[in-house]
Amino acid sequence: MSNDKSTTRTEGESNSESKNEPNPKEAWGYDLYPERRGTFTPKVTNILLGKEGKEGIEKSKCEKNVYDCVKNSSIVKLMMAALRSSGCPVDIRRHISCEVCDYSVSGGYDPQLNQIVVCQNVSTRKGMVQGVLAHEMIHMFDYCRNNLDFRNMEHLACTEIRAANLTHCSFTSAWSQGDASWTKVKQAHQDCVKTKALYSVLAVRQIGKAEAVEVIEKVFPKCYKDLEPIGRRIRRNSDDMDRAYKEGSYYGYE
């Protein structure tokens, strides 16, 4: 079921704006984060073309966006509060890192270092940074609270379902379609969660689509119902969360 390399690290987020094909050489997503491995070097030809060599500017822009989200984004603030109250407080300098990534990913979570990676060359808008932070903070929360093992395919599928359910798919247009019946909206939301979770799993694991779908279907009923910490603990008592859920554009995903 799962590859037995003992050195899995970064759990990645597929960049929804570009189609990602898993790299056949690496099952665990390493090559998606060259800075993480210390092998990133800007190519001279790309510097001449102005494509690379701007990492410093990108990094400070990214760090500013992270800072703004931590200060002003309801969903990011709520996730940080949930992590703090679960015994895993987030220190933005220690736990969030802006880096150059492969263009197929927008962000990731590195459980070994308990660190969120924001892909500074892909997630260039504040809405995207907010999306990455909220999503990866669900993984951070699961890693903190639920003894998550990212090498276990069912665990991985479960946390991806939860992240899609609680963040990405709650802001899709299905919710705002006034003419859609509740059943239709519900179905659209479930489909969104399954699709998003599938892409997230395929972005970081060298497995076939059919196998990934099977694992997702298996854990879906249980994991889709699990709304911690947003649905149960925070949303109920917070105007902020309701507001965040109503503002689709707020999230940067249309």
Catalytic residue numbers, as ranges: 136
- Residues 6 or more apart from 9 whose CB is under 8 A from it? 28, 29, 30, 36, 110, 111, 112, 113
Structure tokens of 149? 């093992």
**Buried b / exposed e across 13-23, counting CB within 10 Å, b at 16+?**
bbbeeeebebe
Report the first-to-last Cα separation within the chain, whole angstroms: 35
Of 52 and 104, the one with the shorter C-beta distance to Zn ion is 104
**Minimal CB distance residue for Zn ion:** 200
Shortest distance, CB of residue 13 to Zn ion, whole angstroms? Answer: 5
Residue 65 binds to Zn ion (criterion: CB under 5 A)? no
Shortest distance, CB of residue 201 to Zn ion, whole angstroms? Answer: 8
Of 52 and 102, the one with the shorter C-beta distance to Zn ion is 102
Of 13 and 99, the one with the shorter C-beta distance to Zn ion is 13
Burial level of 49, CB count in 10 A (0-12/13-18/19+)? exposed
Site for Zn ion in 134-163 (CB under 5 A): 160, 163
Binding-site size for Zn ion (CB under 5 A) equals: 4
Residue 130 binds to Zn ion (criterion: CB under 5 A)? no
Looking at 58-66, 186-194, 199-207, 245-253, which segment touches Zn ion (CB under 5 A)?
199-207
Looking at 36-44, 84-92, 192-200, 238-246, which segment touches Zn ion (CB under 5 A)?
192-200
Structure tokens of 75? 């969903």
Q: Running DSSP on this structure, what letter comes out for residue 114?
A: T
Shortest distance, CB of residue 128 to Zn ion, whole angstroms? Answer: 14
Shortest distance, CB of residue 111 to Zn ion, whole angstroms? Answer: 11
Q: Which residue has the tokens 């759990």?
A: 11
Of 98 and 157, the one with the shorter C-beta distance to Zn ion is 157
Closest CA to 166 of 217, 221, 106, 230: 230
Q: What are the CA-CA distances from residue 89 to residues 78, 80, 93, 172, 182 (Å)?
A: 12, 7, 12, 29, 37
Of positions 200, 219, 224, 229, contacts Zn ion by CB under 5 A = 200
Tell me which residues touch Zn ion (CB under 5 A).
Answer: 13, 160, 163, 200
